[in-house]
Structure 1
Amino acid sequence: MDDDALHILLLLGFHRSNREIVRRIKKEGLMPGQPKILEYLWFHNGASQKEIGRECIIDKSTVTSLLKRMEKLDLIRKEVRLEDQRGVSIFLTEKGWEKARYIRQIIYSIDDEMWQGIELEERQQFIRTFHRIIDNEKTWGD
């Protein structure tokens, strides 16, 4: 295997960080995908189910299932959209905000561990380069 191939590095980086996130939040009783939704709603409270699925990279049926469970856990609430009676907006509840805050602490502590020993300038350059890689991928379409 080519250890310097970008696709391999991306796969390893995602797999390892995701596995550690799942390990650390296991005791919170959340299913895979739910922490992503909590973090997304932290920044986009009131998003539609479709937006959540697209931005969290979760298929429609899985988003539906995850949101139903999150609603039962009182992490989110749904409101009918005034502009579109068929759609709903998803909001964090007070309990959801607390859980999201805790999840963000875990996720950002993992980020800090991964950045360990890497100077700020190197971090900033890496982030700029990674954004360019993501932009290049956007040309592929969906």
Structure 2
Amino acid sequence: MEKSFHHLLLLAQTAFQKQVVLEAAAQGLLPGQSKMLDFLAEHDGCEQKVLGQKFHLEPATVTGILKRMEESGLICRQLMEGNKKSRYVYLTEKGKRLALETVRPIFSACEAKALEGLSGEEQEFLREMLEKIYENMMKG
């Protein structure tokens, strides 16, 4: 029996996510923290609500993840002068080190495993197709 597209996509995403979460947990990170660290390494000082938008998470979920990260000394959150509604998220030195020395290698290793046996052309085609699928799903 042939597996449906949605089933294959869910299987691939679940297997990839499980690998990332397991490897991140071995480094003391809780689910959701690795992707936040990775994003903040490139977008330090972004608004907290942007993290929710980027990862399609509810504000309460983002707040919970960030609260634990703050308690672990990985980030700090600040209100900006003149904007009392939005909090901005910054990596601490500890958070930067963890993002660059631990989280990035985890994602790289998982990507290498997932793409093993695919040519460079196939990898690029897959990226383009996944981006197109995402764009299609985000259309109103």
Task: Indicate conservation of the 8 Å contact 1:115/1:123, yes or no.
Answer: yes
Alignment of 1:103-142 (within 5 A): 103-139=103-139, 141=140
Percent identity reads 32
Aligned-partner Cα distance in 1 for 2:113–2:135: 26
Give the total of aligned pairs: 139
Preserved CA contact (<8 Å) 2:24 2:30:
no
SS of residue paired to 2:26 = helix
- The equivalent of 1:25 in structure 2 is 24
Aligned to 2:87: 88
TM-score normalised over the length of structure 1: 0.90
CA RMSD of aligned residues (A): 1.4
Structure 1: which 4+ aligned runs deviate by more than 4 Å? none
Q: Deviation string for 1:25-83 (max 9, x for gaps)? A: 11222211111111111121111111111112222112111111111111001121234
The AA in structure 1 aligned to 2:47 is S
TM-score, normalised relative to structure 2: 0.92
Counterpart residue identity of residue 86, structure 1? K
| Residue 35 (structure 1) aligns with | 34
CA distance in structure 1 between the partners assigned to 2:130 and 2:41 by the alignment: 23
Secondary structure class of the residue paired with 2:118? coil
Unaligned runs of 5+ in 2: none
Residue in 1 that maps onto 2:45 = 46
